[in-house]
Amino acid sequence: MSQSNQNPALLRRLRASTAAFASGELDLDAVHAVLQSTMTLLDHDGADTARAVRLAEADVEEIRSTRPLAEQRRGVLDRLEQLLAALADEPVDPWGGVVDGHDTLAAYRRLADQLLSGAITPLAFEIRFLDEWRAQRPWPTGAAYRALERLFFVVEDYVDDPALRDPGSRDLDEVGLRDGVRRFVEETRTS
């Protein structure tokens, strides 16, 4: 793909915006505005990058106007990841766990190993996981982000105190937490 001299900075901006959107720091309006401003900067560029961004912006607009609200975030994120892969100026990790040379899942794998080996309690795992989640930078992309998001929902559903678990709810006990953590470990180690 032919690229202009502006592309490295714009690509970094698109990557950062996609990561912020994936983490919930940016909403649909904000990420759409980033695409539109990028498109404006590339408007008279003539490079293939401008066309790719224009197409992605049109797809995002279509997703927003045709899909149910619950499906829009996933659709937009998938489209942004496709755009970034098409614009890559360096090899892209298709799994999405390595961002800018940083293994974004390493801390979570260490916590998982500590829980599964008995080195930390489920409550300690929950606290450390949520601390790591809040401090996460950069965010994984693609399948790695989805694996981490599934683990987040497992941790969110875990209730340490049995007296506080609601019968018939999605509340998880220690066994459910460990099962979810094992799934995360298996999924991220084989990818």
For position 91, what pLDDT does the model report? 45
Average pLDDT of every residue of the chain: 80
For position 9, what pLDDT does the model report? 66
Q: Please name which of 107, 103, 104, 146 lies closest in space to residue 130, comparing C-alpha atoms.
A: 107
For position 103, what pLDDT does the model report? 77
Chain centroid to CA 41: 26
Residue 164 has pLDDT above 60, yes or no: yes
Residue 101 has pLDDT above 90, yes or no: no
Report yes or no on whether pTM surpasses 0.95. no
Q: Kindly list the domain boundaries of the chain, sorted by start residue.
A: 7-92, 99-190
The SS3 of residue 32 is: helix
Average pLDDT over residues 71-79: 88
Average pLDDT over residues 164-187: 87
The CATH class for the domain spanning 99-190 reads mainly alpha
Q: Write the DSSP assignment of 67-111 as a string of letters.
A: S-HHHHHHHHHHHHHHHHHHH-SS---TT--EETTEETTHHHHHH
For position 3, what pLDDT does the model report? 42
Average pLDDT over residues 87-108: 65
The rounded distance, in Å, linking the Cα atoms of 55 and 39 is 10
For position 66, what pLDDT does the model report? 92
The segment with the largest mean pLDDT, out of 8-22, 34-48, 76-90, 145-159, is 145-159
Residue 111 has pLDDT above 90, yes or no: yes
Residue 87 has pLDDT above 90, yes or no: no
What are the CA-CA distances from residue 163 to residues 123, 156, 169, 171 (Å)? 15, 17, 13, 11
Place of tokens 């899909």: 67
The rounded distance, in Å, linking the Cα atoms of 23 and 19 is 6
User: What radius of gyration, in Å, describes the C-alpha atoms of the chain?
Assistant: 19
